[in-house]
Amino acid sequence: MELNNFVRMQERPLYFDSQHTGTFESGKNYSYGGFGNVTEHKAIVNPETEKIVSVVGSGYQLVQNADIFPQYDEAIYMSDLNTNGMTRKVQTSHGGGRTKVEYRFPEHRVAIRDNDEIDLTLTVLNSYDTSWRFRSILGAFRLICTNGMTIGTTYQEYSGKHTLNLDTDRAIKDLAIALESYLANAEVWKEYPNVQITSLQANNIFESLAKGSKALVESLNDSFKGYTYELGYNLWALFNTLTHWSTHTKVRNEANAPSIVVTREDRVRKVLPMLDKLRLAS
């Protein structure tokens, strides 16, 4: 899907089948029907498929992808980011109810170690089912294994109310902060290959991420063994194990994979402070 070819969703009223039955004084039964209007909710419909994308409250303001994403695109071009070679990847899930656009900036490439480079990425979200506010998340893309890498602190995220017009000036300022943050995080990541860790330390983080799922802990430990074979028993191998899980591990519902990856990345982001504690303690 091209960025400027988003389907323009439509708002449609909802109705319910209203049946009335009873008995006349004469003893004869009667039945008649019609349609009643659902006043508290409305449907968001894809006019190309005539399928309901979501049902929302009557006060919900429809913000079209076709309107909001080009505004963010403009903010990117007006910012300090180097857009030469920039790519965009558009994905949808939940029947078109959620949209994810990933921007990748190869001109902001950083080598973490020899022959191991990352690119700056921005993941921008919007939804028609109230699950996501308009939101952009700073991250990175590791070229060797194509892992999507998350950055953990809150100020690297831009979010706005679900309104028709983007606050472009604020978005531009936040993009400048995002670039600075990406470069600062890249400097921290350069330390990761030199921070030695144990299997027990890695397992503690896996258990925190897994939240009681023994199968996930086992899967993460298996993946970690593979990364330690490539990278050694260090924090860089641990970090890549986490991002491999969020980006690459198979999902049951492929149609909703983009949304599932975002949820997994949010979970990884919550355990990143544990990695930083290991780095600072080394």
Please report, for the chain, the start and end positions of each structural domain, with discontinuous segments joined by +.
10-57, 65-189, 192-281
- What does DSSP say about strands 51-57 and 10-23: parallel, antiparallel, or unpaired? unpaired
Across the chain, mean pLDDT equals 87
The number of residues making up the chain comes to 282
What is the average pLDDT across 121-130?
91
DSSP characters over 128-194: SSSS--EEEEEEEEETTTTEEEE--SGGGEEEE-S-SS--HHHHHHHHHHHHHHHHHHHHHHTTGGG
Cα 254 to Cα 15: distance, rounded to the nearest angstrom: 32
pLDDT digits (tens, 9 = 90+) for 244-254: 999 888 888 89
Residue 95 has pLDDT above 60, yes or no: yes
Q: Averaged over 22-27, what is the pLDDT?
A: 68
DSSP-assigned letters across all residues of 228-241: HHHH-SBHHHHHHH
* Nearest of 46, 53, 132 to residue 95 by alpha carbon: 53
* Structure confidence at residue 159 (pLDDT): 54
> What is the structure's pLDDT at 78?
94
The CA distance from 193 to 54, in Å, is: 45
pLDDT tens per residue across span 177-227: 889 989 999 999 999 999 999 999 999 999 999 999 999 999 999 999 999
Strand pairing of 98-113 and 116-127? antiparallel
- Stretch 6-21: mean pLDDT: 83
Structure tokens given for 161: 């109310």
Q: Scan for tokens 């990847």, then name that residue.
A: 89
pLDDT for the residue 121: 92
Specify whether the CB–CB gap between 279 and 235 falls below 8 A: yes
